[in-house]
A and B are shown apart, each in its own frame.
Chain A
Amino acid sequence: MDFNFTEDQVMLRKAFADFVAQEVAPKAAEWDASDTCPVELFPMMGELGILGVFVPETYGGVGLGHVERLIALEEIARHSAGLAMFVFTHQLGMAALLENGTEDQKKRYLPLLCAGEKISGLATTEPTGGSDLLGANTTAVLEEDHWVLNGRKCFITNSHLADLAMVTAKSGEDEKGRNLLTIYLIEKGTEGFGPGRKEHKMGLRGSVTGELVLNNVRIPKESVIGAVGKGYGIAAKTIGEVGRASMAAICVGILRGCVEESVKFANERIVYGKPIAKLQPIQFHIAENRLDYEAGKLLLYRAAKTKDEGKSAVAEFSMAKHFGTEAASRAAKRTIELMGAYGVIDEYPAGRFLRDALTSISSGGTSEIQRLIIAGDTLKTFA
């Protein structure tokens, strides 16, 4: 067993960290305060290979894997979980396209998405629920050589930004009367398709979340991603192995932030003539932050390595996501407590860590949904 990153991965992490130190860290608090999405960084992130790091070179990517993709997200989320959310949702659309698109679709769109010239996203959630994918009310009807879509999606990241949205819709029923879903690729500007209400979130600010409205949207027959009626499997796998992985990476980034900020503060804050790092209760907080960070990191990268080896990692990513979001939430609260009154002041990032961590819990499936997935896998694996 090898728990170490390769030399290339270590160097990539440093390259991503340099980008973050220069372009993200100095502005992260401002993006959070003003809820501004730094779309202007996208072409640079494309040029640096961050967006398409997991996409083969044939389609404009770097040709690496999900371990490298998650290293980049962790580095970004260390300073701006909101920007990491924006980036990973773009990658969610790319992953759906990469793993299920036709050769023509991949060659047409992926180079633009890798370069950051176009923004993508995946839209599944509806007012009726997020994890209940099959309960969707958005419909797709085939009329000669066009599909006609009607419905409303909500809590969609990149809703107001995406040039290319992958949207799930009910396209029929199986022999038992259950809904069959299909994923459709819809370009920005298509008549009848556009953003609706924009949400104001507590955390992950700087990423745009809102509605997508489909009102008699007519798209060509070949706009289907994968096969007709196979949308549930594609969406579930993409969310399960790319979405949840990314939420876990975001939370590992937040956890590292908690460790680093608590150590820095504890060394600098002098009380009763000595740094508070010398006090055992403070050391307990720091030790617990470190434990949560290390455990979250191990779960995340083990799952990512499993996926890169071509094996299913749905349960592994559920564990990483469940643990990561919950651990980041408690570590952020702990960091605030360690800092005393300073912890709740905006000049320090601990408050932002807590808001971002709490907001991460519901994204990609709540902790209860993750426990259901983990339990299902456990009952099968350990029977």
Chain B
Amino acid sequence: MNIIVCVKPVPDPEKYHLLKIDTKTKRLIREGIPTILNPCDRTAVEAALQLKETHGGKVVILSMAPLFSQDRIREALAMGADEAYIACDALFAGADTFSTSYTLMKAIEALGVRFDLILTGTESADGATANVPTQLAEWLSYPHATGVSDIEVRDGYATVRKKIEQGRIGYRIKLPVLLSVEKNAYRPRLISAMNVIGAGKKTIGILTAETLGVDECRVGLKGSPTRAGELIQLDLRRAGREISGEPEEIARRIVDIAKKSGVNC
């Protein structure tokens, strides 16, 4: 069984307090913030590796990312994936989910392999739109299910479960299929020193705009219909007021203030 897992390097969520936004371009300033493999995507890689262990085949990693993110992609190789590719080109910069999913679709087509399963994380830790999995499936005309766990494959069908408000729901979907994997569905394996050394010897394929033959109007900032609107910074300061007087008077004034604020008392 051939499985491709789409992954994204993201700024380390533990360092989000250091993230800033460029007020002019309205894009994140990531300099100095270490990147990690998106936690949801790590789970998807684990799901793929477990399926490979059961059914054989190969696991391919694909990412649209800058070249400096290669180490994060290599991490997926060290987990046990067989091959990895990065769609990387200055033209891809500033992409929204529409142009990202388009680029990923072109990359999957360029690899020339019929993948039985395309796995992704449910959402990225930085953008959290959860748009890319469904958009990619639509580009490829694959059936899809999002936020799934417990993936099993048998007789050309994938059965999955998905948490819903009332409990869980099961799906049985004909292969090939795209599934976005829920963050806690699998526990990503620890990486051994031997696998780190093994991954260091593997080559990561670089896919440029030219090799993918993309329509330049559909990639990067130029091909992104999404535009950031106004940036609003919330004022979270607390305003303190001193109330003095006799206890009864203080209590009466507190009740008045509360009523004015809309508290029903």
Question: Which A residues are within 8 Å of any B CB, using their own CB?
Answer: 7-8, 10-12, 14-16, 18-19, 22, 44, 47-50, 53, 62-64, 68
Contact = CB atoms under 8 A, between A and B. Distances in A.
Interface in B183-216: 190-197, 199-200
B8 interface: no
Which of A11, A19, A22 lies at the interface centre, i.e. has the most chain B CB atoms within 10 A of its CB?
A: A11
Which 7 pairs show the lowest CB-CB distances between chains A and B?
A: A49-B193, A15-B191, A62-B193, A48-B192, A8-B200, A49-B192, A11-B196
B71 A10 contact: yes
A53 B196 CA distance: 12
A19 B195 CA distance: 14
Contacts of B78: 11, 15
Given A7-B200, A8-B197, A8-B200, A14 B75 contact: yes
Given A11-B78, A15-B78, A48 B190 contact: yes
Interface string B74-115: 110010000000000000000000000000000000000000
A53 B197 CA distance: 11
B193 A18 contact: no
Contact of A48 (B71, B74, B193, B199): B193
10 contacts: A7-B71, A11-B71, A11-B200, A14-B75, A15-B190, A19-B190, A22-B190, A44-B190, A49-B194, A64-B193
A263 to B, nearest CB: 12
A22 B190 CA distance: 9
B197 to A, nearest CB: 6
Nearest to B36: A14
A18 B190 contact: yes
A108 B5 CA distance: 42
Contacts of A12: 193, 196
Nearest to A15: B191
A47 B75 CA distance: 18
A53 B194 CA distance: 9
Contacts of B75: 11, 14
Nearest to A53: B193
Contacts of B190: 15, 18-19, 22, 44, 48
A241 B199 CA distance: 30
Contacts of A19: 190
A11 B192 contact: no
Nearest to A44: B190
B71 A50 contact: no
Q: Is the interface of B mostly helix, strand, loop or mixed?
A: helix
A69 to B, nearest CB: 10
Contacts of A63: 197
B71 A62 contact: no
Given A8-B197, A18-B190, 5 more contacts: A11-B78, A12-B193, A12-B196, A48-B191, A49-B194
B111 to A, nearest CB: 25
A14 B71 CA distance: 11
Contacts of B191: 14-15, 18, 48
Contacts of A7: 71, 200
Nearest to B194: A49
Nearest to A18: B190
A15 B197 contact: no
A168 B121 CA distance: 56
A19 B192 CA distance: 9
A15 B191 CA distance: 5
Contacts of B199: 11
Contacts of A50: 193
Contacts of B74: 11
Which of B78, B190, B194, B196 lies at the interface centre, i.e. has the most chain A CB atoms within 10 A of its CB?
A: B196
Interface string B215-228: 00000000000000
Contacts of B71: 7, 10-11
A53 B190 CA distance: 16
Contacts of A11: 71, 74-75, 78, 196, 199-200
A47 B195 CA distance: 11
Nearest to B199: A11
A376 B210 CA distance: 64
Contacts of B192: 15, 47-49
A364 B35 CA distance: 39
A284 B74 CA distance: 39
Nearest to B201: A8
Contacts of A10: 71
Nearest to A267: B17
Interface in B141-158: none
Nearest to A13: B196
Nearest to A22: B190
B17 to A, nearest CB: 9
Contacts of A47: 192
Nearest to A49: B193
Nearest to A50: B193
A45 to B, nearest CB: 10
Nearest to A6: B200
A267 to B, nearest CB: 9
Nearest to A47: B192
B38 to A, nearest CB: 15
B240 to A, nearest CB: 10
B72 to A, nearest CB: 10
B76 to A, nearest CB: 12
Nearest to B188: A18
B197 A62 contact: yes
Nearest to B70: A7
B152 to A, nearest CB: 26
B73 to A, nearest CB: 11
A10 B196 CA distance: 10
